[in-house]
Amino acid sequence: MIESSFNSSDKKVVLVSSSDENHPPENIIDGNTQTFWMSTGMFPQEFIIRFAEATGIAAVTVDSYNVKHLKIEKNNSPNVSHFESVTEKDFERTEGHLQSNVISLNVNSATHLRFIVTSGDKGCGPGCCGQSLWMKVLRDLQT
Amino acid sequence: MVKLRARCLLAGDAAVGKSSLSHIFYSDGSLFQKNYSMTTGVELLVKSVSIPETNDTVELYILDTPGKDTLVDGCEKMWGEPSLLCLVFDLTNEQSFVNCGGWMERVRAHCQGLHVPGVLVGNKSDLSARREVQASVAREWAQSQGLEYHETSAKEMENCDAPLLSLALAFHSLYQEHRENIQNLSPG
């Protein structure tokens, strides 16, 4: 198993449900923990990553904040449609530091991965009911 | 430029003017329904508000919900997790003001213990001769609940934008605050 860094040349974000132009979705896959994408209100929020070619993915590391529940789906089509569920996970709430989760996918081949945040955390700063979150996919582990 | 989205719950007793207010706001003051038609389901009105001195907008998803007791239980599950609250009472009906306490409790149960920015709106300010709730009393109670107080007349289209504009501003500043928190996070 080779660990490959998640650089943006072989993958790109093709859909995002919301964004702030100062924190665009490309930040999710730029491999830099200092940059981030932030959703701008309400749930669910999602983004879809397209790979240059069908790719096997054993696991994905997700650094995030205020994510409560994440669903991951995949497809093997050139189009952004007909996704099937891969896994879902509840994230532990953190205060003042990132949530870092390695999520096992065991996907043999996928052209798109879809990440859906169905709900945000209670601890999302003073006064907000989970209107924003930050997420970054740092690297995948290729089989 | 950023476009924010907020779920704004409109709550309060029946016939205080929630639907009138939301329609005046939604239609920029061109629509005041003269006949009363009780809201029996949840109506969704989406309105974009520009934040002054920025290129940002807040899209308010206003949920106009029934105030009638028998309908509240059925519709409450559609409240979801509100990001903003607009609580309305009738200035000429003291009971509708007293009941605001009960509304706050109901709303809090949906907010998982978090503070939700909100406004208290005393509507029907045009009926000054029939006023039963003094502004000072309402303002004091609003402060104790962390709400900003506004008085409006949907009929005269007076001040109707103010409560929702102030909610949009509150949501915008919450977003800025939240973004700063995120920028200062340490790695997991």
The listed range with the strongest mean pLDDT (A2-6, B35-39, B97-101) is: B97-101
Question: B187 contacts in A (CB within 8 Å)?
Answer: 33, 63, 97-98, 100
> How much is the pLDDT for B142?
98
Q: Say how far apart CA A46 and CA B170 lie, in whole Å.
A: 25
ipTM: 0.83
For A129, the closest of B59, B81, B179 (CB atoms) is B81
Judged against a pLDDT cut of 70, whether residue A1 lies above it is answered with no
**pLDDT tens sequence across A24-74:** 888 888 777 778 888 888 888 889 999 888 888 888 888 888 888 899 999
Distance CA B77, CA B147 (A): 23
3-state helix, strand, coil in chain A (%, to 5): 5, 60, 40
Q: What pLDDT is attached to residue B161?
A: 93
CA distance A4 to chain B (A): 20
DSSP A86: E
B167: distance to nearest CA of chain A, Å? 12
Count of domains observed in chain A: 1
pLDDT above 60 (res B175)? yes
- How many interface pairs between A and B have CB atoms less than 8 angstroms apart? 92
B12: left (phi over 0), alpha (psi -120 to 50) or beta: left
Range of the structural domain that residue A106 is part of? 2-142
pLDDT at B154 over 90: yes
A51 and A111 Cβ atoms separated by less than 8 Å: yes
Grade residue B177 by pLDDT with cuts at 50, 70 and 90: confident
**Residue A76 confidence (pLDDT) above 50:** yes
Residues of chain B with pLDDT > 70, as a percent, come to 98
Are B112 and A129 an interchain contact pair (Cβ–Cβ within 8 Å)? yes
Report the chain B residue with the minimal C-alpha distance to residue A133.
B182
For residue B25, pLDDT over 70 is answered with yes
Peptide bond into A44 cis (omega under 30): yes
Burial class (CB in 10 A: 0-12, 13-18, 19+), A51: middle
Residues B62, B7 contacting (CB under 8 angstroms): no
DSSP one-letter code for A95: S
Half-sphere exposure of A37 (CA within 13 A, CB side): 26
- Shortest CB distance from A126 goes to which of B177, B179, B187? B177
Nearest-neighbour CA in chain A from B90: distance (Å): 27
Q: Based on DSSP, count helices (H) and strands (E) in chain B, helices before strands.
A: 6, 6
Please give the backbone phi and psi of residue A141, each rounded to the nearest 5 degrees, phi first: -110, 110
Cβ pair A100:B117 closer than 8 A: no
* Per-residue model confidence as pLDDT tens digits over A97-142: 888 888 888 888 889 999 998 887 743 332 233 334 444 554 444 4
Q: Which amino acid is at A140?
A: D
The reply to whether residue B188 touches residue A94, judged by beta carbons under 8 angstroms, is yes
Q: What is the pLDDT of residue B71?
A: 93
Cα–Cα distance, B29 to B22 (Å, whole number) = 10
Q: Which residues contact A94 (CB under 8 A, 6 or more apart)?
A: A65, A123, B188
| CATH number for the domain that contains residue A63 | 2.60.120.260
Give B102-137 pLDDT, tens digit per residue: 999 999 988 877 778 999 999 999 999 999 999 999
Distance from CA of B176 to the nearest CA of A (A): 11
Closest CA to B184 of A89, A108, A19, A65: A65
Closest residue in chain B to residue A33, using alpha carbons only:
B187
CATH entry 3.40.50.300 includes domain B3-175 = yes
Residues of B with CB under 8 A from a CB of A: 1-7, 59, 61, 81-83, 111-117, 171, 174-175, 177-179, 181-182, 185-188
> Who among A38, A94, A131 is closest to B6 (CB)?
A131
Average pLDDT of every residue of chain B: 92
Minimum distance, in Å, between the CA of residue B172 and any CA atom of chain A: 10
More confident residue, B95 or A6: B95
Would you say B172 and B52 are in contact if contact means Cβ atoms under 8 Å apart?
A: no
pLDDT at position A129 = 30
Nearest-CA distance A49 → chain B (Å): 22
Residue B146: Cβ within 10 Å count? 14
Nearest CA in chain B to A32: B187
Which range is most confident: A125-129, B77-81, B129-133, B178-182?
B129-133
The answer to whether A14 and A123 are in contact (CB under 8 A) is no
Query: pLDDT-based confidence at B97, cuts 50/70/90?
Result: very high
Which chain B residues are Cβ-neighbours of A17 within 8 angstroms?
Answer: none
Of B2, B117, B188, which has the smallest distance from its Cβ to A20's Cβ? B2
The answer to which of B4-8, B47-51, B87-91, B147-151 has the lowest mean pLDDT is B4-8
Q: Answer with the residue of higher pLDDT: B159 or A67.
A: B159
pLDDT confidence of residue A109:
86
